[in-house]
Amino acid sequence: MVYKGKKLTNSYSGQQLVFLRTAAETNGSMLEMEMTLMGNSPEPPLHYHPLQSEEFRILTGKLTVRMGDNVREYGKGQYFAIPSRTPHSMWNAGAEAVVVNWKVQPALETAEFFEQAYNLGKPGLIDKIALARKYAHVFRLSKPHPVMLWLLYILVYPMIWLKKKC
């Protein structure tokens, strides 16, 4: 259950999220979070949000951001926005933690996606595919193509079903 002030910690990466304003509080128009990325975090895979835009303000530290082919570093007080359908990734290349204010518009089921993803820690392939399929309207990997992911989901669905039954 998502609520204002709820804190999630990814057991694998140490990344933390605190929900500041939820979909319930904003009638679904926005989700606002504070994200903390630990030092020397690896670059995650490029991804995009098909129906959502994002806004970020750096509160402490420096955040490295890839948008398409461009890589840029943002520091304390700087702001940037990512339009929907724009492939991007972000990470902390420095030694100190980075804290970022993060807004997602509209909220959709982004908070629920993060709850499930963070609870998995470092998910295996089956969990990744199930999560990608369930939240495809919120989050998509840039590669492989969505059709390829759909086919992969069809192939592994029996394993996902069995895992839920056990």
**Is residue 148, in this structure, part of any structural domain at all?**
no
Residue range(s) defining the domain that contains residue 22: 7-119
Q: Is 146 domain-assigned?
A: no
Mean pLDDT of the residues in the chain: 87
Q: Is 49 helix (H, G, I), strand (E, B) or coil?
A: coil
Residue 36 CB coordination number (10 Å): 19
Does residue 77 have a pLDDT over 60? Answer: yes
Higher pLDDT pick, 8 / 13 = 8
Pick the more confident residue, 37 or 153: 37
The CATH number given to whatever domain includes residue 24 is 2.60.120.10
Residue 159: name the closest of 128, 118, 115, 113 by CA. Answer: 128
Residue 113 lies in a domain: yes
100-147 pLDDT, tens digit per residue, is 999 999 999 999 988 988 877 666 666 667 777 788 889 888 776 666
Region of 121 (left: φ > 0; alpha: ψ -120 to 50; beta: rest) is left
Q: How many domains does the chain have?
A: 1
- Encode pLDDT of 36-65 as tens digits: 999 999 888 899 999 999 999 999 999 999
What pTM was computed for the model?
0.83
At residue 66, the 3 state secondary structure works out as: strand
